[in-house]
Amino acid sequence: MRRSTILAGVFLPALSAVAAGGLAAQEEEGTIPGVELGIVLENRYVPPIAVHPFTLSIAGDDALGREIELIIARDLDLSDRFLVRDTLPAEFAGGGVQYALWEQFEVDWLLTGTLEGDTAGDGRILAVELHDVVYGSLHERERFRVPERGSASFRMAVHAVSDAVVGWVTGERGAAATRIVLAMRAFGEERGKELYVVDSDGENLRRLTWDQSIVASPVWSPDGKRIAYTSWKSGVPRIYEFDLETGRDRALIPDGHGHQLTPSYHPDGHTIIFSVIGAEPKGIFTFNIRDGCCLTRLEGGPHQNLSPGYSPDGSSFSFLSSRLGTATPQIYVRPARGGSAELLSPYRFGAGGYFADPDWSPGSSKVAFAGGIKGRRQANRYNILVADVAKGDNRLVQLTREGNNEDPSWAPDDRHIVFKGQRTYGTGVFIVDTATGRTRLLVGNVLAEDPDWSPLLAGNGVGG
Amino acid sequence: MFNPRLVLTAFVAVFIAAACRPEPPPPPPAPTGPTPEELEAKRIADSIASAEAEALRLAAEKARLDRERMERARQLRATLEEMVFFDYDEANIRTDARSRLEAKLEILRDYPSVLMRMEGHADERGTSEYNVALGNERAESVILFLTGYGLDGVRFESVSYGEESPIASGSNEAAWAQNRRVEFVITGGAGDLGR
């Protein structure tokens, strides 16, 4: 077992106290002896950017142009990579780019655009230019097809423009053109949960299922076209796959294999890894859903093994196991082809600790999970934690510090995490930036569980 | 109780008999009791009445037994369906749960046709997915208790709803204690209870 050193701020009084890049450690009653806690956040320069009002070539496009500007400006803000200047002095409107003026206005980057008709249909062509104000030069330009306003893919297409801009500046693609699936209490209902999806900017919340039952643990397929989830609609929990193109679902795992929970896709999209409870043998299994074959057990035993999820290359998976005690579930990592499970969450005998909901980021060696090491009495106060499997030092970064926080899921940018949060003022789904700690509400005043962040969706025809 | 038709017939018979007599001879000594015909009619009426009374008594007795059996079935059912509760984050059978399960055990032995589903639940604390597993562990630990006393495991099935179906609302220990439970649903043989 690895000895854990936690460099996260589980019990720090204030995030701001250590947010300046330092490492602070503090111990309080209820912590694991010998384990240090602190918060490490990058003290990175955040460049200011301005979105110049677009030039319009078609009469009557004023509202459309303004809407696209607003979507992009908001995406750039939510990307947590820019300081978006949203109030521009009047003299900057129109005309060519005067770098000296923009520099006076203290922006490093300037985005301009021209909205033209699209010969291929009723949509528009948006030609955007990203100007480097500091160097006084054009940095990048590209033309994007924007479908007709009000069409299902309009907003996703605009989000894709924002993601490209993030990529030009940072070299890392943004995650605006994505959606988040939730297991949520339907509006007006007093029980049950149904599948909902919402765009990454909190717009466009819509219902997917009418099962009149309980759904849980939805996850996106790697191609973003299907969602695997658990539903009780047959009376017992079983895994289904919802096809976003047809709106239909099907049972994924043949009957007679116990109660199935917590599905997750292999990066190849053909294999489902999931948990079986309530039948022998129980444990963690894989099943090839393309060929409908090859049920294989990877983990077993009398204890619970839940929430498996693959590493980006599919060679390992993280999961929850209660092998150290029912009241102290822990997070483990092990090779998919066989081998022993290694403890990832911090554990010391007798100190308690409850760690659950592991989620391996889609493109890095980081695993997020929820939990806490306070005693039993303070239970149900979990925080979102991140461990880096590759570093091996079990440094743990804590991303939340108020209320209760569960069910983390990584964005495809390997930087943002969506999670379920409970606050004194209500419950909802939040997004936290792991680099800055900045947190925003995605959907508020809803009873939602198990949010899962999609892969990049623009251009794949997912309806909206 | 008497049958009016029979009595009427008897009267008519007497009337006809009287009407057919010739002019009164010197009156014989006045009859001092019922005629044999009257006695016969009364005997028949009494016999019928007593048979009917017996039938009614038997019907009442059967209704009483049925009521008792239904009441017994209701009690057995209530005992079988009585929930058991658990400690926080635990699936172990508590001592108060043990006595409730022992009461069920006796009934399940007496009525081998009864089948049950154990529905496990958790309180809202803990993550939702782990709570499904915990609820299932509770249901299974109840089944294990019963099969440990020799009952056939095929009579029982388990399902867990985790924290999705609380019976008490509120975020306090009183509500949580109510929600950490296994519910019992009779899925077969309920009609045999009390027989």
Question: B160 and chain A: CB distance < 8 Å anywhere?
Answer: yes
Best mutation target among A304, A330, A345 (most B Cβ atoms within 10 Å) is: A304
Q: Please report the pLDDT score of residue A27 as a whole number.
A: 32
Question: A370 and chain B: CB distance < 8 Å anywhere?
Answer: yes
Looking at the predicted complex, does its ipTM rise above 0.90? no
Q: Which chain B positions have a beta carbon within 8 Å of A326's beta carbon?
A: 89-91, 134, 137
Q: For A3-37, how does the pLDDT look when each residue is reduced to its tens digit (9 = 90+)?
A: 333 433 333 333 333 333 333 333 333 454 444 44
Q: Give A71's contacts (C-beta < 8 A, 6+ positions apart).
A: A155, A158, A159, A162, A201
Cis peptide before A408 (omega within 30 of 0): no
More reliable by pLDDT, A67 or B5 = A67
Nearest Cβ partner for B159 among A236, A275, A304: A236
**Average pLDDT for residues B67-79, to the nearest whole number?**
93
Q: Please report the pLDDT score of residue A30 as a whole number.
A: 44
Question: B89 and chain A: CB distance < 8 Å anywhere?
Answer: yes
| H-run or E-run covering A99 | helix A99-104
Best mutation target among B86, B121, B127 (most A Cβ atoms within 10 Å) is: B127
* Residue contact B164–A191, C-beta within 8 A: yes
Q: Please report the pLDDT score of residue A81 as a whole number.
A: 94
Place of tokens 């440990």: B148
Q: Please report the pLDDT score of residue A158 as a whole number.
A: 96
Nearest Cβ partner for B128 among A191, A376, A450: A450
Q: For A171-203, how does the pLDDT look when each residue is reduced to its tens digit (9 = 90+)?
A: 998 999 999 999 999 988 889 999 999 999 999
Spatial separation of the C-alpha atoms in residues B51 and B47, rounded to whole Å: 6
More reliable by pLDDT, A38 or A303 = A303
* Residue contact A356–B129, C-beta within 8 A: yes
Return the minimum-mean-pLDDT range out of A149-158, A367-376, A382-391, B76-85.
A367-376
- Domains of chain B: which residue ranges? 4-67, 82-192
**Closest residue in chain A to residue B157, using alpha carbons only:** A278
Q: Please report the pLDDT score of residue A15 as a whole number.
A: 32
Spatial separation of the C-alpha atoms in residues A135 and A26, rounded to whole Å: 44
**Closest residue in chain A to residue B125, using alpha carbons only:** A380
Q: Which chain B positions have a beta carbon within 8 Å of A303's beta carbon?
A: none
- Is the Cβ–Cβ distance between B113 and B189 less than 8 Å? yes
Question: With pLDDT > 90 as the criterion, what percentage of chain A qualifies?
Answer: 65
Q: Please report the pLDDT score of residue A258 as a whole number.
A: 83
Q: Please report the pLDDT score of residue A433 as a whole number.
A: 95
Question: With pLDDT > 70 as the criterion, what percentage of chain B qualifies?
Answer: 84
* Residue contact A354–B88, C-beta within 8 A: no
Q: Please report the pLDDT score of residue A277 as a whole number.
A: 92
Q: Which two tokens stand for residue A331?
A: 């997070």
Spatial separation of the C-alpha atoms in residues A302 and A322, rounded to whole Å: 9
Q: Give A263's contacts (C-beta < 8 A, 6+ positions apart).
A: A217, A219, A228, A229, A230, A239, A252, A272, A273, A274
Distances (CA, A) of B24 to B14, B16, B20, B28: 16, 15, 11, 10
pLDDT surpassing 70 at residue A394:
no
Strands A194-199 and A179-184: antiparallel
CA nearest A214: which of B118, B128, B158, B130? B128
| Ordered DSSP codes for chain B | ---HHHHHHHHHHHHHHHHT--S--SPPPPP-S--HHHHHHHHHHHHHHHHHHHHHHHHHHHHHHHHHHHHHHHHHHHHHH--EE--TT--SPPHHHHHHHHHHHHHHHH-TT-EEEEEE---SSS-HHHHHHHHHHHHHHHHHHHHHTT--GGGEEEEE-TTSS-SS-SSSHHHHHHHSEEEEEEEE-GGGTT-
- Per-residue confidence band for A1, with pLDDT thresholds at 50, 70 and 90: very low
Q: Which chain A positions have a beta carbon within 8 Å of B167's beta carbon?
A: none
Q: Please report the pLDDT score of residue A17 as a whole number.
A: 31
Closest Cα of chain A to B126: distance in Å? 6
Nearest Cβ partner for B130 among A236, A259, A329: A329
Mean pLDDT of chain B: 88
Spatial separation of the C-alpha atoms in residues A253 and A256, rounded to whole Å: 9
Return the minimum-mean-pLDDT range out of A217-231, B32-46, B145-159.
B32-46
Q: Please report the pLDDT score of residue A120 as a whole number.
A: 80
- Is the Cβ–Cβ distance between A308 and A262 less than 8 Å? yes
Q: What is the largest CA-CA distance in chain B?
A: 113
What structural domains and CATH numbers belong to chain A? Answer: 48-170 (3.40.50.10070), 179-453 (2.120.10.30)
Q: Please report the pLDDT score of residue A464 as a whole number.
A: 33
More reliable by pLDDT, A370 or B27 = A370
Q: For A292-325, how does the pLDDT look when each residue is reduced to its tens digit (9 = 90+)?
A: 999 999 998 888 999 999 999 999 999 999 998 8
Query: What is the signed CA dihedral for A241, A455, A434, A195, rounded to 10 degrees?
Result: -30
Length of chain B as a residue count: 195
* Residue contact B127–A235, C-beta within 8 A: no
**Average pLDDT for residues A84-92, to the nearest whole number?**
69
Highest averaged pLDDT of the listed ranges A195-199, A433-437, B126-130, B166-170: A195-199
Q: Which chain B positions have a beta carbon within 8 Å of A259's beta carbon?
A: 136, 159-160
Q: Please report the pLDDT score of residue A18 as a whole number.
A: 33
Q: Please report the pLDDT score of residue A5 as a whole number.
A: 39
**Average pLDDT for residues A425-429, to the nearest whole number?**
90
Q: Tell me the one-letter amino acid at B135.
A: G
Question: B133 and chain A: CB distance < 8 Å anywhere?
Answer: yes
Spatial separation of the C-alpha atoms in residues B100 and B79, rounded to whole Å: 8
- Is the Cβ–Cβ distance between A376 and A402 less than 8 Å? no
Q: Which chain A positions have a beta carbon within 8 Å of B125's beta carbon?
A: 379-380
Size of interface A-B (CB pairs under 8 A): 84
* Residue contact B130–A306, C-beta within 8 A: yes
Q: For A331-348, how does the pLDDT look when each residue is reduced to its tens digit (9 = 90+)?
A: 999 999 988 999 998 877
* Residue contact A322–B126, C-beta within 8 A: no
Return the minimum-mean-pLDDT range out of A33-42, A86-95, A191-200.
A33-42
B8-17 long-range contacts (CB < 8 A, ≥24 apart) are: B9/B41, B10/B37, B10/B38, B10/B41, B13/B37, B14/B38
**Chain center to CA of A183:** 15
Q: Which two tokens stand for residue A79?
A: 């990307």
| Torsion sign over Cα B134, B140, B145, B148 | negative
Q: Which two tokens stand for residue A234?
A: 């047959």
Q: Please report the pLDDT score of residue A152 as a whole number.
A: 83
Q: Which two tokens stand for residue A306?
A: 């839940």
Question: A406 and chain B: CB distance < 8 Å anywhere?
Answer: yes
Closest Cα of chain B to A304: distance in Å? 7
Domain B82-192: state its class: alpha beta
Length of chain A as a residue count: 464
pLDDT surpassing 60 at residue A462:
no
Q: Please report the pLDDT score of residue B17 as a whole number.
A: 56
Q: Please report the pLDDT score of residue A29 as a whole number.
A: 37
Q: Which chain A positions have a beta carbon within 8 Å of B124's beta carbon?
A: 380
* Residue contact B133–A406, C-beta within 8 A: no
